[in-house]
Amino acid sequence: MANNLYDLGWHQGTIFSQSLPTVVIGRPDAIFDRWIVCTQDCDLSSSSPTSTEAIVELRPVLKESPPADWGIRSSRLLLNSQEYVDASTARVQVTAAKICEFVGTRDTQLPDERLRAFKTWLGRRYDRPAVPEHLIDLAREIAKRCAVRSGRRTAQAIHDVLMQFSEDSDPPQVALYAVVTDEADLDSVERWLADVASRIDTKLGVVAHIEVQTRTQTSLQLVETSYSADLSELTWRNEVPVGAE
């Protein structure tokens, strides 16, 4: 008999269906019917199925108005072609004993690629770099231009667009990196990114470099030192969302 949650099939990234409420002080409870396990596998493997400690963290899985791309640094991350998670929704903690009651409602595990993306996304929820205030207008301009995708095929191919700023010149310079699926038409995405670059107001900044990379070609260093060209993700140093007005 399995003696921990992991051996019972509860892994980070497990999705299941169960009607559960979220509790947020200051606003009404919300009910969601789909959930994903966020707790790390090492903690699940050390948790007894009969434990009454609330060690299992869950996030709601959403379907309405999914994001246009798969996302790396975005506040919303697609789990599959229709479902996603949103950093702004409330998290829920449940006991090990309680989650074992939901074993019959589990889906198949996420594919390896999306599971890795989900784990990376979770890790970055608490490490969102703030854009320096003097670059906010430029970041906002780029994010708005990137929000317009030239056709469904291009939109589905793009994981994210990342920005790296150089402040040594006036106006500042920026490099744009489109991170795409391995099957993407690289020439098509590059044309789209070049068009985005050509539309940036040069009074705010100059696009000095564009590059298209597949997900497997994108280094962790690039991800960690870039900002996402996503209005819902960007913040500045007083922690106010760029798109919030």
What's residue 16's pLDDT? 96
Cα–Cα distances (Å) from 223 to 57, 128, 201, 213, in that order, read: 25, 11, 25, 12
- The one-character DSSP state at 198 is H
Cβ-contact 126, 237 below 8 angstroms: no
Interstrand relation of 206-214 and 173-180 (parallel, antiparallel or unpaired): parallel
pLDDT for the residue numbered 72: 58
What does R_g of the chain's alpha carbons equal in angstroms? 20
* Tokens 């068009």 found at: 195
pTM of the model: 0.60
- Half-sphere exposure of residue 73: CA atoms within 13 angstroms, side-chain side: 27
Residue 39 C-beta-side C-alpha neighbours within 13 Å? 22
pLDDT in tens, the chain (245 residues): 578 999 999 999 999 999 999 877 777 888 999 999 999 998 999 899 999 999 999 999 999 988 766 665 577 888 988 899 988 888 899 999 999 999 999 997 888 888 888 888 887 665 555 678 888 899 989 988 888 766 667 777 888 899 999 877 788 999 999 999 888 899 999 999 999 999 999 999 999 999 999 988 888 788 878 888 875 555 444 433 333 33
